[in-house]
Amino acid sequence: MQNVMERYQTFRQVVDDITLMNNRFMNKVFDGNIPATQRMLRVILKNDKIKVCKVSVQQWLQNLYGHSAQLDILAEDENGTQFNVEIQRSDEGASVQRARFYCGALDMHFLDRGKKYEALPDAYVIFITESDVFKEGRPIYNVERSINESGKAFGDGSHIVYVNAACQDDTPLGRLMQDFNCSNPAKMHYKELADTVNYFKSTK
The mean pLDDT of 181-193, rounded to a whole number, is 96
How far the first Cα of the chain sits from its last, in Å, is 20
Reported pTM: 0.89
Total domain count, the chain? 1
Helices (H), the chain: 2-17, 23-30, 34-45, 96-110, 172-180, 191-202
Please enumerate in sequence order all residues whose Cβ is within 8 A of that of 73, keeping only pairs 6 or more positions apart, or say none: 26, 27, 30, 37, 55, 56, 57, 83, 84, 85, 86
pLDDT digits (tens, 9 = 90+) for 46-73: 999 999 999 999 876 666 565 666 778 9
DSSP secondary structure, 77-114, as one string: ETT--EEEEEEESSGGGG-HHHHHHHHHHHHHHHS-TT
Residue 67 sits in which domain range? 2-202
From 13-22, 44-53, 179-188, 193-202, the region with the lowest mean pLDDT: 13-22
pLDDT digits (tens, 9 = 90+) for 100-146: 888 888 877 777 777 888 878 899 999 999 999 999 999 999 999 99
Mean pLDDT, the chain, rounded, equals 89
